[in-house]
Amino acid sequence: MRRHSRRQRYKGYGGYMDIDIRILDVNHDLEAFKQIRIEAVQDTPSAFAESIAQVNSKSDGEFRHHLSDHGAGDFVLGAFHESVLIGVAGFYRDVPGKLRHKGHIWGVYVQPQYRRSGIARKLLQTLIDKTKALSGIKQITLTVVTTNGPAVALYESLAFRIYGTETDAIEVDGVFYNEYLMQRLLEYRNY
């Protein structure tokens, strides 16, 4: 999969800014990915399955594993502003033969100061476009905490639909959070 960059201008709180979106490279982006992943889990612990302790104790090899494509077309997109990683969105594909038509979005995060500027939408749209180029992908799924209204609205605006709710999906400091199970079909099927 090509790792070229897509530069676009986004309106942020301080005016317009140039944002580059590209696939993160295991050799060049490991430290930046590690830092933003730790930040993400600390900033919004209810949005991620990993605890702060778990993400802080990960080895570089474990972070490298996230950035590898595993021969299945897996990738992590990064949004960069002035060469600084400010947002990420990951994709992985199911490996078993009967499930290879499914892909999954994980780890979506944009730093707070860049939210509500269209960066998450562009990350996700770029991710969707890249998955359409993968042979055999028919659907993309994701999970999102039911209390994260802005994220749910964003996913719905990108044609994801809720197909279920997992009760008590995540526990953070004794508080349980439900998650919506969401799906986007890449090809229309008349069931």
- The phi, psi pair for 32, rounded to 5°, reads -65, -40
Q: What is the pLDDT of residues 7-64, one digit of tens each?
A: 555 555 455 678 999 999 999 999 999 999 999 999 999 999 999 999 999 999 999 9
Give residue limits of the domains in the chain: 6-185
| Superfamily of domain 6-185 in the CATH hierarchy | Gcn5-related N-acetyltransferase (GNAT) (3.40.630.30)
Cα radius of gyration rounded to whole Å, the chain: 16
- The phi, psi pair for 60, rounded to 5°, reads -60, -35
Q: How confident is the model at residue 93 (pLDDT cuts 50, 70, 90)?
A: very high
Q: Please compute the mean of the pLDDT values over residues 82-104 and round it to a whole number.
A: 92
Task: Give kind and range of the element (H or E) at residue 107.
Answer: strand 102-110
Q: What is the pLDDT of residues 146-190, one digit of tens each?
A: 999 999 999 999 999 999 999 999 999 999 999 999 999 987 665
